Amino acid sequence: MKKILLIEANKAFAKLIATKLRVETGYDVIPAGTLAEARVLAGTQRFELAVTGLDLPDGAGAEAVDFLLAQKIPPLALVEEYDERVKRLLEGKLIVDVLLKRTTEDLNILGSTVKRVLANRRVKALVVDDAMTYRVMMKDLLESQFFRVFEASDGVEALKMLEEHPDIKLVITDYYMPNMDGFELVTRIRKKHKKERLSIIVLSGAQAEDVAAKFLKFGANDYIKKPFSDEEFNVRVNLNAENMDLIESIHRMANSDFMTGLYNRRYFFETGNKEHQKAAREGTKLCVAMLDIDHFKRVNDTYGHDAGDEAIKKFARILQDMLPETCLIARFGGEEFCVLMPAADASKAKGLLETVRKAVEAQSMVYGELEFGFTVSAGVCSKQLPHLEEMVNQADAMLYEAKHGGRNRIRVA
């Protein structure tokens, strides 16, 4: 399990912090009451992050922060007051953040901040600036926030980098650059990358009052005026990352089945129609399968609806585990699922679904003190019909045949 080092002299407060961080992150939190204890722990264990107070019995001021930085353990400082003394102590040090530790709300902010920066590990960020000094500075700041950082010296390089890494989620670009300035870069990026999928922050020392509005109108998510403080930069960057996560979460809820986490019927047809059109255009194979749990009403009546729900979740997991990632799997409702299988002919589709059928047949469900099994049937349409909905209907007809043919079997049209 991944670990967070907590250095805090107040044992009661350390216990509250540790509980909060475990709940928010799922990480193991290892406490140390002194800097000496922290040194021992850091020498024997690996930590992803450290949360430390500044006033320790054997390490006043920024001594703990300096130690953690030397050990390459990113530190987050906790203070009673964020005053000029603290600012001077931490000036120039690449720390995660400085937060207060006075109230319950402070603990909530600590929990959400740590959760945010740990989530940044999966976020790729691109820094675009022709001035190497600024590039290095921003790269260091972003890495202190756990982002995966790429660099480009101008807009032309930036566009190439985005082609190579289309999963970049955050672009931080200067305005004035050779070859292609920030405004043209923002405009070009927005032709391919939607605002809710990729966030652009523009940096500029331009004095004109309308520069920020101009960038925001034409696709930037945020604007930071040079010179800026490390704190402002980190806050803006993390807010943009958090906003993208929130939008992604909303999209996921709109497109997903609440019980299984699989895609829902609406998303299946929205995305599946594109795959259907692509297959028709390129002349490639495409199969559609309908599957459901045999005698599902009997499962509900015998073992209860909660057990039935667990059976649905189990079946969903088997579908995800056994079918290739290229398959589009959706729960249509109740115990009924639909799978779109690109580049699959009848033989391949039946083979893949046989592995699913056998896996379901072999498993045993344990729910509380109950133990039971179930089987599934499937129908497949392997003929390219003019519309996806027609293929779904044909697969459903084959599923009907499988049911009336004895269940626990697959029928292919």
Catalytic residues: 335
Q: In 205-330, which ranges are continuous DSSP H helix?
A: 211-217, 230-255, 265-282, 296-303, 305-322
Q: Residue 254 corresponds to which tokens in the numbers above?
A: 């709109």
Can you name the residues that pair with 338 across neighbouring β-strands? 290, 330
Q: How far apart are CA 73 and CA 90, in angstroms?
A: 16
Residues 199, 240: Cα–Cα separation, whole Å:
7
Question: How far apart (Å, rounded) are the C-alpha atoms in residues 409 and 357?
Answer: 7
Residue 38: name the closest of 25, 54, 26 by CA: 54
CA distance 344 to 352: 10
Residue 136 CA, chain-centre distance (Å), reads: 26
Which of 58-84 are b and which e, b meaning 16 or more Cβ less than 10 Å from the residue's Cβ?
A: ebeebebbebbbebebbbbbbbeeeee
Vertex 88, ends 40 and 50: CA angle to 5°? 30
In order of 275, 340, 367, the CA distances from 327 in angstroms are 11, 6, 29
- Token pair belonging to 223: 């604007």
For the record, the structure tokens of 28 come out as 């193991």
Whether the ω angle into residue 342 lies within 30 degrees of 0, i.e. cis, is: no
Residue 332 tokens, joined? 């249509």
Q: Rounded to whole angstroms, how far apart are CA atoms 289 and 353?
A: 9
For every residue of 351-397, DSSP letters joined together read: HHHHHHHHHHHH--EEETTEEE---EEEEEE-S--SSHHHHHHHHHH
**What six digits make up the tokens of 157?**
């390089």
Q: Which residue type, as a one-letter code, is found at position 288?
A: V
